[in-house]
Amino acid sequence: MIIKSDKSSFQSYLTDSSNYKGNAEKLFMPESIQELKELVIDCNRKKTKLTVSGNGTGLTGGRVPDNGFIISLEKFNEILNLDEKNKTVTVQPAVLLNDLQSFVEQKNLFYPPDPTERNSFIGGNIATNASGARTFKYGPTRDYVNKLKVLNPNGEILELDRNINDRSFKFLKNFNIKKPLTSKNASGFFCEENLHLIDLFIGSEGLLGIIIEAELKLIDLPKEVFSAVAFFDSENDALNFIEESKTLSFNNQSIIGARGLEFFDEHSLIFLSKDFPNIPNSAKAAVWFEQEIIRNEDEIFENWSFLLEKYKYSADSAWFASDPKDYEKFKDFRHSISWKVNEYIAQKNFKKVGTDVAVPDKDFHDFYFWCKKLVSDSNLHFVSYGHFGNSHLHLNMLPKSDAEYKTAKENYYLICKKTVELNGTISAEHGIGKLKREYFELMYSEEEILQMAKIKKHFDENLILNIGNIIDPRFYEMV
Amino acid sequence: MKIAVCVSHVPDTATKINIGSDGKTIDPNGVTYIVNPYDEFAIEEALKTKEKLGGEVVVISVGNDANKETLRKALAMGADSAVLLKDENQRDSFGIAKALAEEIKLQNAELVFFGKQSVDYDNSITGQLTAELLNYNSVSVVVNLNIDGNKITAEREIEGGKEVVETSLPVVITAQKGLNEPRYASLKGIMAAKKKTIEEKEAVAANLFVEVVEMKKPAPKQAGKILGSDSSAVSELVKLLREEAKVI
């Protein structure tokens, strides 16, 4: 086991991509499950707080410790087994999403979840129930986790298997919190009737145990993918285009079946224009979309063409992939906006205030323009984009001063409040971590958070694991 | 005016290359092939020229059926027609130039675009050889092009600067990055490309002058060494940099 006690040697583990900073006494890098187990048992006995570290790509401070020890799982980075017949892959938690995807694709298999940050650890993806563009068609990480091996604070290893009925736990009998009316959610513990234990662990941000192994579900690799970026002279047209594409995609009678529908506003296009000079100057919005093609290619093209024309896309400047390189380029277009924005704020030393909210589909259109007006009226520079197929908005305010930062935070609060009023979720994919607890408390009542705190205590009675994520520690004193 | 663009179908620069069992060719298994990136500038310039001056764009490629993918892409971008000059065997640059020159003659194309080099074998001579065989003028590594009647003004990159040259049609231009920003296909282009047929004919025979004797991968990088983590390792580091790596 590698142990680092000199803080300067593990400085990078004291933060994540949100730039939130924490503190810890030591960093442990176990090299075997046995070492990890002994460490956890020892810490549990001494009641030393442990924060598990993924690859630091999170945006909510989930891996950032407030104190105690850090456990980095980075040595557990092996793909253990690929079962081509049953289409499953067994991985250790520190396998990179990107590596997993490339590995299975070489075997003509496909792991559908595609969080934008491809250098994330799979373990982190599971802990936050991460999602991405393809969630529109395929759902979030949760839907692809068959089995989990989880190490408890008392050293016990739980083997959770979706195919084995683990649904009758007494302590879960009364667990009942409201569910947002959205197609995506990453805020707090998952709750449904007859809840399977594996689903409770997925998305619990490390509060209930340490993921040490996972069996993931794969599907056949779709060979032909139609991929495009369409530009519009009006945001309204782009939004209406997305709305109708969405409706058609879920209509079995329609040949249109997008697997992702993503929106970019004009400010996003300005950020991207240096790397993508083909973006037309007149564009006020762009939509990236993909559809897998199995048959009826011509008919699919014609249907998209009709729909695009209906919403007055710029036919002369739209991009359609005509080879694998174009396809990758469009994917980069979609992926690069978030890091372009991050690069900009890092250069200028600004702090970004970015939403991760989703609302019910029927409310999205009005909600988007409401948010935009709120931010424009307060004279803040902003960039908005997101997984609009899932009614999920990343509106990034880019304050230039402390006063503007304060305004941005106020706007952020108002946007979260509005989201909750609409039965939406304040975090659709990034999770709550330590940074969004305040807003999490807008979403759930004290009684509901106490239910979650109780479950946490059931698995971690000494409260050592990832304390500070999701639940404000003051709630633990109340149960 | 008839405009010809000569294109090659090459392994994606991001792909991992393995050498085939004969030790002389690339093993195509698991390799993604793409349009030679420099040829995309050539296609774009041909399309821009056609949009400005009128005419017709024909794309030509030498190789096997796999090259159709590249031709199809050029059609989707807006080329009018495509010709595949078939040869299953690997040709040297002269053999390719010979086949292309014959076809360009048949097509009666006065303006011919190439990429400045093909990123598979990087010989950077096919364009110039073709010009010579056709007895056309040629300007290579072009970053800016202006056509005014018969007169061609081309800016080309040279070591440490740029050079502006004037010549006249008929001409072969080889395109360098910076000449333009290649367009993506339009939906209409993709749909139209599917309906166009690619004309296929045998590439004319040519004497080959260059034979690949052997292909080798570069020697694998040696593993790094960690000498220590504090100042005590400095003297050893300096010694090794001097005696082993011989860089100081």
**Overall average pLDDT of the B88-116 stretch:** 96
Shortest Cα distance from A276 to chain B (angstroms)?
Answer: 9
Asked if B77's CB is within 8 angstroms of A326's CB, the reply is: no
Residue B62: which of B204, B212, B174, B213 has the closest Cα?
A: B204
Contact: A298, B191; criterion CB under 8 Å = yes
Residues A41 and A140 placed together within one structural domain of the fold: no
ipTM: 0.82
Over range B38-61, report the average pLDDT.
97
From CA A28, how far away is CA B62, in angstroms rounded?
59
B185 vs A: CB within 8 A = yes
Confirm whether A56 is domain-assigned: yes
> Buried b / exposed e across A224-250, counting CB within 10 Å, b at 16+?
eebbbbbbbeebebbbbbbbebbebbe
Q: What gap in Å lies between CA A112 and CA B29, rounded to an integer?
A: 25
Q: To which residue do tokens 């190490």 refer? A: A151
Please report residues of A whose CB lies closer than 8 A to that of B186: 315-316, 318, 320
Cβ–Cβ gap B184/A320 under 8 Å: yes
A50 and A24, same domain (yes or no): yes
Which residue in this structure is represented by tokens 């995807």? A101
End position of a domain, from candidates A198, A220, A242: A220
Is A15 contained in some domain? Answer: yes
pLDDT value of position A338 = 87
- Taking the Cβ of residue B187 and every Cβ of chain A, the question of whether any pair is shorter than 8 Å is answered with yes
Q: E strand or H helix at A260, and its extent?
A: strand A258-265
pLDDT per 10-residue tile (average), chain A, 479 residues:
90 90 96 97 97 94 96 97 98 97 94 94 97 95 97 95 79 89 95 92 97 98 94 97 97 94 97 93 96 92 95 93 89 90 84 93 97 96 96 95 95 98 96 96 97 96 97 96
Question: In one letter, which amino acid is A454?
Answer: K
Tokens of A106: 């070489």
Radius of gyration, CA atoms only, chain B:
22
Name the minimum distance, in Å, from the CA of B34 to any CA of chain A.
7
The CA-atom distances, in angstroms, between A352 and each of A20, A340, A410 are 12, 12, 13
Residue in B69, B183, B191 closest to A323 by CB: B69
Structure tokens at B114: 């190439």
With CA atoms as reference, the chain B residue closest to A227 would be: B187
pTM of this structure: 0.89
Verify whether the Cβ–Cβ distance A321 to B69 is below 8 Å.
Answer: no
User: Which residues on A lie below 8 Å from B184 (Cβ)?
Assistant: 229, 278, 318-322, 326
Q: Which of B39, B51, B61, B186 best probes binding to A when mutated, by most A CB atoms within 10 angstroms?
A: B186
Is A86 contained in some domain?
yes
Contacts of B12 in chain A (CB under 8 A): 324-325
Dihedral (CA of A237, A238, A242, A248) sign: positive
Give the pLDDT mean for B49-62: 97
B37 SS3 class: helix
Q: Which residue has the tokens 């008392």?
A: A154
Query: Does residue B230 register a pLDDT over 80?
Result: no
DSSP state of B197: P
Q: Are B7 and B43 in contact (CB under 8 A)?
A: yes
CATH number at residue A248: 3.30.70.2190
Q: Which residues of B74-101 are buried (b: 16+ CB within 10 A; e: fewer)?
A: bbbbbbbbbbbbbbeeebbbbbbbbbbb
A250 within a domain of the structure (yes/no):
yes
Whether A322 sits inside 8 A of B193 (CB atoms) is yes
Nearest to B73 among A305, A315, A322 (CB): A322
Cβ within 8 Å of B, A 303-332: 304-305, 308, 315-316, 318-326
B188 with A277: Cβ contact below 8 A: no
Q: Which two tokens stand for residue B156?
A: 């080309």
Please write the tens of the pLDDT for every residue from A38-77: 999 999 999 999 999 999 999 999 999 999 999 999 999 9
**Residue A47 shares a structural domain with residue A98:** no
Q: Give the number of A-B residue pairs with CB atoms closer than 8 Å.
A: 59
> Are residues A197 and A242 both part of a single domain?
no
* Same-domain status, A306 and A243: yes
DSSP classification of residue B191: H
Cβ pair A106:B190 closer than 8 A? no
Q: Hey, how many other C-beta atoms are within 10 angstroms of the C-beta on A2?
A: 12
User: Using CB atoms, which residue from A301, A308, A324 is nearest to B191?
Assistant: A301
Q: How far apart are CA B41 and CA A26, in angstroms?
A: 54
Which of A340, A357, A390 is where one domain is finished?
A340
Q: Which of A437, A393, A411 has the alpha carbon at shortest distance from A353?
A: A411
| Interface contact A322-B72, CB threshold 8 A | yes
List chain A residues with CB under 8 Å of B188.
305, 315
Q: Count up the domains in chain A and report the number.
A: 3
Using alpha carbons, select from A281, A273, A289 the residue that is nearest to residue A233.
A281
Phi-psi region of B204 (alpha: psi -120 to 50; beta: other; left: phi over 0): beta
Query: Same domain, yes or no, for A110 and A148?
Result: yes
pLDDT at B26: 86
Please judge whether A323 and B73 are an interchain contact, meaning their C-beta atoms are less than 8 angstroms apart. yes
CATH of the domain at A53: 3.30.43.10
A38 to chain B, closest Cα gap in Å: 28
- Contact criterion met (CB below 8 Å) for A396 and A341: yes
Report the pLDDT averaged over residues B80-108: 96
Alpha helices in A313-401 (DSSP H): 324-348, 361-377
Provide the shortest C-alpha distance from residue B2 to chain A (in Å): 24
Domain spans of chain B? 2-202
Q: Which residue in A68, A208, A192 sits closest to A151, CA to CA? A: A208
CA atoms within 13 A on the CB side of B128: 9
A83 and A215 part of one domain: yes
Q: Do A192 and A228 fall within a single domain?
A: no
Q: Determine, yes or no, domain membership for A467.
A: no
Strand partners, A2: A29
The residue among A226, A256, A316, A320 with the most chain B CBs within 10 A of its CB, best to mutate, is A320
Q: Scan for tokens 């402390």, then name that residue.
A: A402
> Of A308, A340, A372, which residue constitutes the final position of a domain?
A340
A68 and A122, same domain (yes or no): no
Percent of chain A with pLDDT over 70: 99
Q: A37 near A149, Cβ under 8 Å?
A: no
Enclosing domain of residue A139: 79-220
Position A324 in a domain: yes
In a domain, A202, yes or no: yes
Number of helices (H), then strands (E), in chain A = 13, 19
| Closest by Cβ to A315, choosing from B35, B69, B186 | B186
In a domain, A453, yes or no: no
Please check whether residue A302 touches B, CB under 8 A.
yes
The larger pLDDT score, comparing residue B246 to residue B55, is at B55
Query: Does domain B2-202 correspond to CATH entry 3.40.50.620?
Result: yes
DSSP string, A341-352: HHHHHHHHT---
CATH number at residue A98: 3.30.465.10
